[in-house]
Amino acid sequence: MQEPMAEVVSTNQFKNGIAIEIEGDFFTIVEFQHVKPGKGGAFVRTKVRNIATGAVLDRTFRSGEKFTRVHTQSRKMQFLYATDTEVVLMDEQTYEQVSVPPSLAADALKWVVENMNVDLMYLNGQPSAVEAPTSVELAVTHTEPGLRGDTAQGGTKPATLETGVAIQVPLFIEQGERVKVDTRSGEYLSRA
């Protein structure tokens, strides 16, 4: 397969959501503003999100500065299983299986069990990360029993979910129940 020519974009072509390479790292543009001061050259004030770490940075570029555009894509996949050396996913439309290193899926694996759907992110055609859904339903495998008289407005207690991750749940949640959790914050949302 022939390597495609690198597409270059200048600051004049910035759009929210496009991905660019800056100093060897890949970023998506969150927002930008063209600034034309009375003196000196125009510049572009930009907020960019690091695709690998999720960190948002403020960067300023000279107007007309050029960057290599990075193509991103997301595919819905079903998580089949994980070993120490690979995470195996399946495309539900084509039944094609894709194997990725565990390092690309470490965060997602805290929240998913076999047969759950995940997003496989691609950067320039190469798998770059596995992302869990924004909320998941998981079984509580261990938690201390609540005390009599606990109310829904009461405090919280630690609970271990079937994936092994520990979260805080309301006192009325019991072992064996299923709970809905926000995977971005690790917060309990509701009973499932």
Walking along the chain (192 residues) 10 residues at a time, the average pLDDT comes out as 68 89 89 90 91 84 93 92 95 93 88 94 85 93 75 78 94 94 91 90
For residue 129 the two structure tokens come to: 């990360």
Q: Residue 165's pLDDT is what?
A: 94
Which H or E element spans position 188? strand 187-191
CATH code of the domain occupying 72-131: 2.40.50.140
Q: 135-191 architecture in CATH?
A: Beta Barrel (2.40)
Domain boundaries, the chain: 8-70, 72-131, 135-191
Strands of 11-153, DSSP E: 19-22, 25-35, 43-50, 56-62, 66-70, 72-82, 87-91, 97-100, 117-123, 126-131, 135-143
Q: 8-70 architecture in CATH?
A: Roll (2.30)
3 state SS of 61 = strand
Q: Residue 3's pLDDT is what?
A: 46
User: Do 8-70 and 135-191 come out as alike in CATH topology?
Assistant: no
Name 31's bridge partners.
47
For 96-113, give the DSSP string: -EEEE-GGGTHHHHTT--
